[in-house]
Every structure is written in C-alpha cells, then in structure tokens.
Amino acid sequence: METEVKLTKLASCAGCGAKVGAGTLAQLLDGFKTHKDPRLIVGFDKSDDASVYVIDENTAIVQTTDFFPPIVDDPYLFGQIAAANALSDIYAMGGEPKLALNIMCVQDSMDSGTVREILRGGYEKAYEAGAIISGGHTIHGAEPIYGLAVTGFVHPDKVLTNSGAKPGDMLILTKPLGVGVITTAAKAGLVDDELMSRLHLQMSTLNKAARDIMVRYKVNSCTDVTGFALLGHSFEMAQGSGCTLHLTVDRIPYHQEAFEFADMGFIPAGAYRNREYAEHGVSAPGVSRPMLDIMYDPQTSGGLLISAPEEEAERMLGEFYAAGVFAAAVGYVTDRSENDPYVVAE
C-alpha cells in the first residue's frame, strides 16, 4: 500500500537503530531498589531478552516489550516488522507468545487509514504467531512509534537465556546481517526495489519456525540479534556465560550489498553506540572496517543466535535446511581466562 505520508520522514531514526545503548541503560538502572522474588528467575539484571516468572512447576510467564519508529514507509509493513521484532524476544527465551498489547504513538499528520494499516500489520503478524492482541495504549506525539508488549509461556526447565553458553558449543545465526546499513543507504536513494523487497521479507518473518525447531534440541543459550548487533549481543552472551565466543568472519551471513554501502560510509548511528559499548571486550585483528561495521550494525527483527553442543547443533542445522529456515554456523565457544577477550572475530 502507498501512503501520502512518508513514515520514515516523520522519525529522526529508524527501527532498532533507535535503541538506547546497552552501556547507557546499565548506568540508568544501576542502584534502583526492587523487590526480590525467587519466582523471578530472569530479570532486568540479566541483560536478557525478556523476564521470566515461575507460576508453578510446569509453567513460567515470559514477558517483554519492544517498539520503535518506522523503518519503512508502508504502514502495513511497518506494523508487521514491529510486531515480529517484539515477538522475537519470547522466541529467544524458548517460549510461545500468547497475549500482546499494542504500544502506539500517532503523529498528527498521520490519517486514520495509515494508523489502521499499521495496526492491521501488527494484528496479522500476532495472529500468525498464535498470539492474541487483547488491548493496548495509543498517544499523540512528535514521532510515530509502534510495537507490542508480549506475554508468553515456557516450561521453567526449558527457559533459554543469553548466559548459558558452554565451551565446545557451536554458534548458529538464523538471519543475515546488514539491515541497518542498507536502510541507511536507502534514505539516500541508493537501494533498488529487489534488495528492499528481500530486506522487507526478512524483517517481517517471525522467528517462530526457527524457535520451533530449536527447542527440539539441547540448547545452552540463545538471544535474538537486534539493536545491539551481532557483536553487542555476542558480547553480552560471552559476559553472562563466562566464556569466549569466537566468530568465524567468513561464515557470517550478510547481504552482500551491505558491504559496499558500509565501505561508502552509510553507517547508522546505533552502530557507533554498539562499538562504544562492546569494543573493549572484542578482538578483531585483520577484520576489514566495512565487515566490522556490519557486525556492529543494529538489526531490526534480526535472527536468533543459538549456542548448542556441536553434535546437537549439526543436527539442528540439518533440520533448519530441510525446513527451508535460513541458518548458518558462525562460530564456537571456548573457556575464557581472566585477560582473554569476550569475543574474538577471526
């Protein structure tokens, strides 16, 4: 659908590139008094994708929220992408989304048709996920924003976190990188329709199929690769796990056009925040500047980064391929000594 209002022109930044840096968030939350509850087995102190609260021996609630400004002009597609991105946090914890609430900010120049199309995109993506949008909250503001607060369920013994990677694990990534770089270049009119269509399909694709296969195997750790980029999320996984993650650069999937755009300097602001946050824990000798920029590039509705024992990971990859789910083995996990980097790109 075409809309007279160019949504991306109404926002100062786009998609997950709008995300506040992880280092800044840690400082803002430091020292706050919170209640302690043994049933809260994953909270904000874990830097994880969602919180997890145990209800009984068979059921835990997984809860998250995610929203951002438009990354595309098509309002229906924007709704789809924003919803897919929010639902992804539940999948990354091994859970199934069940309930969702709309979070929306309407800019004054947006007509009712545009607003309805954004909501339609979100509702249809939630329906595809098997979740029910049961309400929400909408305000007027300077920039359009859309997303969801999502509640899901998972067995307490099957919760996946970003802090469980173990030495000997293989690392799997389920979507290629380059989203932020390409959408930045698109603002300058340098991206053709074929590439944008490919990117739109990727961003609007749920991580449901990847999650449904992943949970059939022994997985030690998982996170989705979104605003903090591959290197930022890998850094958090390595820190939480007390291990070193080794990323094999020539096996990392990315849209080839992103390399050229990165070399030309089309780097989103979020990539610089990600670099500032993680680079002290990253060793990347010999990695080209454009490739490093892609690895720091914030992804909108990115894939899952899965850490699993090698034999399990190989079998999982085979099932991904057979089901037509994109996946690539991108590295491995080792023990970490005190002075070792958390992430090695080699």
**CB atoms near residue 335 (< 10 Å):** 11
Residue 42's pLDDT is 85
Candidate list 16, 105, 222, 243, residue with the active-site label? 16
DSSP-derived secondary structure letter, 175? S
Mark out the alpha helices in 52-192 (DSSP H runs). Answer: 75-92, 112-129, 179-186
Q: Is the pLDDT of residue 25 over 90?
A: no
Tell me the mean pLDDT in the region 86-90: 97
Read off the pLDDT band of 16 (50, 70, 90): very low
β-bridge mates for residue 242, sequence order? none
Task: State pLDDT tens for residues 193-203.
Answer: 999 999 999 99
pLDDT cut 90: percent of the chain above it: 85
| Rounded Cα distance, 263 and 291, in Å | 9
Please give the CATH number for the structural domain made up of 169-345. Answer: 3.90.650.10
Superfamily of domain 7-158: PurM-like, N-terminal domain (3.30.1330.10)
Strands 59-68 and 40-42: unpaired
β-bridge mates for residue 107, sequence order? 141
Find out whether 214 and 40 touch, Cβ atoms under 8 Å.
no
Please tell me whether residue 24 adopts helix, strand or coil conformation: helix
Find out whether 63 and 50 touch, Cβ atoms under 8 Å.
yes
Tell me the mean pLDDT in the region 144-163: 97
Tell me the mean pLDDT in the region 114-133: 98
Tell me the mean pLDDT in the region 274-290: 96
| Three-state helix/strand/coil letters over 183-206 | HHHHCCCCCCHHHHHHHHHHHHCC
CATH 3.30.1330.10 location in the chain: 7-158
Residue 127's pLDDT is 98
DSSP-derived secondary structure letter, 125? H
| Pick from 303, 307, 306: nearest CA to 326 | 303
Query: Does the active-site annotation cover 16?
Result: yes
Tokens, residue 157: 């013994």
- Average pLDDT of the chain, as a whole number: 92
Q: Is the pLDDT of residue 19 over 90?
A: no
End-to-end CA distance of the chain: 43
CATH 3.90.650.10 location in the chain: 169-345
**pTM for the predicted model, two decimal places:** 0.91
- Please give the helix or strand (H or E) that residue 51 lies within, else none: strand 51-56
pLDDT cut 70: percent of the chain above it: 91
| Rounded Cα distance, 156 and 215, in Å | 13
Sign of the four-CA dihedral 171, 174, 178, 183: negative
